[in-house]
Structure 1
Amino acid sequence: MTTTGAHQDATGDTTRTWLWWGRRRSVALDVGIGLVSAVECAVEGVHFAGRTGSPTALAVVFGLLVGSVLTVRRRWPIAVVLVAVAITPAQMGYLLTVVGLYTLAASDVPRRIIGTLTGMSLVATLVVVYVEMEKDMRDVPREEYVDPGAWFIPTMSIFVAVAMTLPPILFGLYIGARRRLMESLRERADSLEQELSLLADRAEERAEWARTEERTRIAREMHDVVAHRVSLMVVHAAALQAVALKDPQKAVKNAALVGDMGRQALTELREMLGVLRAGAEEERKKAVPLAAVGAAAAAAAAAAAGVGDGAGSASIADVEVLVGQSRQAGMVVEFAVHGEVRVYAPEVEQTAFRVVQEALTNVHKHAAGAKVLVRLAHRDAEVAMQVENGAPDAADGGAHAPDLPSGGNGLVGMRERVLALGGVFVSGPTDAGGFRVSAVLPAK
């Protein structure tokens, strides 16, 4: 026997495929049944030759060939049953008939073909049994003959035909249905496994996206909180350099302010980095989401900055503190509030605060000494804020403008914050040579 390929079984191992058999034990089973059937048909061929007067050797060879047909039952079940029906008049192939009908019913052959072949086998068996029983009744000597009644032969013929035909058919239908059910369950399990794998991949993608978004948010928080403080330090340092020889008392005051702001900036950095480091350890140990780390970092930074409510989150009420810090740095700031002051959602409060903070930081960086107008407008369903500065060359002390580094991410961060809440953000130069930053946030 030669091999024709290979396949994988349920455990994933690669096994040989023998012709139409999937496993070696199937080959052994079918060959064994075929040999038994061939021997049976050969023996029955001897009796057939004795009844008909045919050559015994020819009948035996015929029986061997017919019985061995059972070896191909898995490949051609219809042919096996047809052969069994054809040799029924010769009273041969009982095993061939039973196993062939079982294999036919268990296969994927259409039900109408199964029904047709079952009916053919049933009729053939019924006719043969009926004829043989009548012949046997006629051969009984008259002195020993007992009339069993006209019903006996038909009834027994039907009983024998049904007993040889229906059990293998019913058992084969049950095995075939069970096999198809197992295949369906296996396919469903494979499908579920693929879906779970796909969901896991999507979850990993979403987690990676969330981590990236949260890293961006943390970077934005550090930029907004620390850059503002450091910018004020640079402004005060420039003022200290300008008045150190002319006004020692003012220089001492500015130096004290620079020291306080430096300590506050270091505290903010230490608090934020400490939270990030602790959050990273927790994430490795307990898989804490990075979003919690970012929120904690933002809260710690805001608390270290000395603004916000008891929970440490910045709010619109703290804008006045920002304006006061800029005035201490020498900036001329006009602050105006329109509408009835009220409390908004925490994310709206914090975003409004950060927009004003970053806008003032940009004025310190790019328009030192320019006059600034900060407006807050409380409307029915929204809150608006605007920070506008004049032209830098028209500002007093523009010659002493400090050289502040800029990463170019301030306006981008403000725009992202505002758009994330469904607001509107506009920024750009004014006709007077200054710069304006405007934002409108929904109240909810």
Structure 2
Amino acid sequence: MTTTGAIADGGVQGAPPGPWWWARRRSMVLDVVLALVSALECVPEGVAFAHEVGLPGVLGGLVGVPAGASLVLRRRWPIAVVLVSFAFVPAEMGFLLGVVALYTLAASEVPRRIIAVLSGVSLLGTLIVAFARFHRDMAQDGYRPGFWLMIAFSVVMALGMTAPPVLLGLYVGARRRLVESLRERADGLERELSLLAERAEERAEWARNEERTRIAREMHDVVAHRVSLMVVHAAALQAVALKDPEKAVKNAALVGDMGRQALTELREMLGVLRTTPSVALAPSSSPGGQGSAASERLAAVASAASARVAASVDGAVGDAGDGPCLDGLTDLVGQSQAAGMVVELSVEGAERAYGPGVEQTAYRVVQEALTNVHKHAPGAKAVVRLAHRDGEVALQVENGPSDVAEGAGPGLPSGGNGLVGMKERVVALGGVFVSGPTDAGGFRVSAVIPAAA
């Protein structure tokens, strides 16, 4: 029979482990001291019992030593120690042995049925021995008490030697199991908090990556469009500088206006990057121990990470509301027309207001599509179509083939991210994006965005 976790408790964290079946050295010292005291008690009681039955006193003393010393094994084999104490009840040996053995049995993880049976056997054995001893002593003194009086006295003696250690052991065992369950629950909560903190950090990292991607798209759209127009106007300015000074002055003014607009939009986006929410993690001063402090720190980390996620998302939503909208398409087309491109704007359906994200995405799609026309099809005619439908807004930008020989255009560089950025914007809102060459040799960009996105 092995001892249980309640008796072989792990003890205080950081305590040195004990040898064999002891969890702590302090437990081993306690059991050794109890065994020594019990052996010293059993030796004279064994000698007295040996004299009563006519045996040598030395034999009784030799039997008492291992009987009392059996308490050393109480944590390892509590049932065996209880049975040893039962064996010496008729000899009236081992009072300390019986009490400690019953307490250890009741405090252990032994099934309650076994505890009840052995406690009942101990009660019955003590009752019989007390009754016989009381009857014998009274007979020797010449006193004849009543039968029920002897029964009552024997019951009180039996209950006094059996009930207190059993009840105390049951209480201590229940308390140890409660503490162990609370400790396991605290460990589980700490693991959950650690997992929550890791997930919150992952969400925060995801939000930061999404924000970087969004800002990169915005900067690409702003810089690519404005700078493309500036390059086109600069090329026109170079061509007409000597022939038509008045037109050259007009083109120079347009270049300046576009440069200022580009700088303004870049400052707005970079202002978001300069705003960094700070979250302070205060050190825990709770006296609840290492487990409580660790749990509080993990909860603080999880809260801080969640706050960073919320700040990133709030920032993204707020920035979306400050961006361009569909009302600016006329000005956008006008800028391309001023740069020498032939652009037609066609609007179908009743105009209505959409969410900030929808309008900004639609504007950026048209803007990037016109930028691509400037880059890859200089001199080509472009048609911008905007359709307000039930539950969605549709966009299409189509251009014909370029009428400028290859290499004769402004030579604008291309990073290959324009179409990718447009598709990411539209798909993120649950829309559909399609792009590709036309049969006439031009290029077409189409997007359908849900109005409720």
TM superposition score normalised by structure 2: 0.87
Q: Counterparts of 1:26 and 1:390 in 2: how far apart (Å)?
A: 92
2:410 matched to 1:410?
Answer: no
How much does 1:127 deviate?
1.3
Q: Counterparts of 1:370 and 1:51 in 2: how far apart (Å)?
A: 127
**What is the SS of the residue equivalent to 1:190?**
helix
1:305 alignment partner in structure 2: none
1:29-428 correspondence to structure 2 within 5 Å = 29-141=30-142, 145=143, 147-273=144-270, 275-276=271-272, 278-280=274-276, 282-283=277-278, 289-291=311-313, 298=319, 312-392=322-402, 395=403, 400-428=408-436
Letter of the 1:160 counterpart:
M
**What is the SS of the residue equivalent to 1:125?**
helix
Relative to structure 1, the CA distance from residue 257 to residue 182 in structure 2 (aligned partners, 3 Å threshold; closer, same or farther) is same
Q: Counterparts of 2:239 and 2:210 in 1: how far apart (Å)?
A: 43
Letter of the 1:200 counterpart:
A
Deviations 1:293-350 (A, max 9, x none): 5566x57xxxxxxxxxxx7431111111111111000100111111111111111111
How much does 1:386 deviate?
0.4
**What is the SS of the residue equivalent to 1:90?**
coil
Q: Counterparts of 1:331 and 1:10 in 2: how far apart (Å)?
A: 83
Indicate conservation of the 8 Å contact 1:99/1:168, yes or no. Answer: yes
Relative to structure 1, the CA distance from residue 252 to residue 35 in structure 2 (aligned partners, 3 Å threshold; closer, same or farther) is same
How much does 1:168 deviate?
0.7
Letter of the 1:254 counterpart:
N
TM superposition score normalised by structure 1: 0.89
Relative to structure 1, the CA distance from residue 312 to residue 182 in structure 2 (aligned partners, 3 Å threshold; closer, same or farther) is closer
Relative to structure 1, the CA distance from residue 399 to residue 21 in structure 2 (aligned partners, 3 Å threshold; closer, same or farther) is closer
Root-mean-square deviation (CA), in Å?
2.2
Q: Counterparts of 2:416 and 2:376 in 1: how far apart (Å)?
A: 12
Deviations 1:58-101 (A, max 9, x none): 11111111111112111111111001101111111111111100
1:27 alignment partner in structure 2: 28
Indicate conservation of the 8 Å contact 2:47/2:59, yes or no. Answer: no
1:430 alignment partner in structure 2: 438
Q: Counterparts of 1:38 and 1:139 in 2: how far apart (Å)?
A: 30
Deviations 1:110-163 (A, max 9, x none): 11111121121112111111212222232233xxx3x43221112211221121
Identity of aligned residues (%): 64
Relative to structure 1, the CA distance from residue 82 to residue 136 in structure 2 (aligned partners, 3 Å threshold; closer, same or farther) is same
Q: Counterparts of 1:260 and 1:121 in 2: how far apart (Å)?
A: 103
How much does 1:260 deviate?
2.2
Letter of the 1:217 counterpart:
R
2:301 alignment partner in structure 1: none
Deviations 1:225-254 (A, max 9, x none): 222111100111122222233333222221
Letter of the 1:314 counterpart:
P
Indicate conservation of the 8 Å contact 1:244/1:251, yes or no. Answer: yes
Indicate conservation of the 8 Å contact 1:369/1:398, yes or no. Answer: no
Instruction: Give the number of the structure with larger relative contact order, counting CA–CA contacts within 8 Å between residues 6 or more apart.
Output: 2
Q: Counterparts of 1:406 and 1:362 in 2: how far apart (Å)?
A: 9
Letter of the 2:409 counterpart:
A
Relative to structure 1, the CA distance from residue 283 to residue 90 in structure 2 (aligned partners, 3 Å threshold; closer, same or farther) is closer
**Can you give the 5+ residue segments of structure 1 that lack an aligned partner in the other structure?**
1-6, 300-310
Runs of 4+ in 1 over 6 A off after TM superposition: 7-11, 284-288, 396-399
**What is the SS of the residue equivalent to 1:131?**
helix
Indicate conservation of the 8 Å contact 2:42/2:65, yes or no. Answer: yes
Relative to structure 1, the CA distance from residue 9 to residue 159 in structure 2 (aligned partners, 3 Å threshold; closer, same or farther) is closer
Relative to structure 1, the CA distance from residue 283 to residue 218 in structure 2 (aligned partners, 3 Å threshold; closer, same or farther) is farther
Relative to structure 1, the CA distance from residue 10 to residue 68 in structure 2 (aligned partners, 3 Å threshold; closer, same or farther) is closer
Indicate conservation of the 8 Å contact 2:16/2:25, yes or no. Answer: no
Indicate conservation of the 8 Å contact 2:21/2:76, yes or no. Answer: yes
Indicate conservation of the 8 Å contact 1:390/1:434, yes or no. Answer: yes
Q: Which has the larger radius of gyration?
A: 1
**What is the SS of the residue equivalent to 1:25?**
helix
**Can you give the 5+ residue segments of structure 2 that lack an aligned partner in the other structure?**
1-7, 281-303
How much does 1:430 deviate?
0.5
Q: Counterparts of 1:138 and 1:354 in 2: how far apart (Å)?
A: 114
Letter of the 1:107 counterpart:
S
- Choose 429-438 or 161-170, whichever is displaced more: 161-170
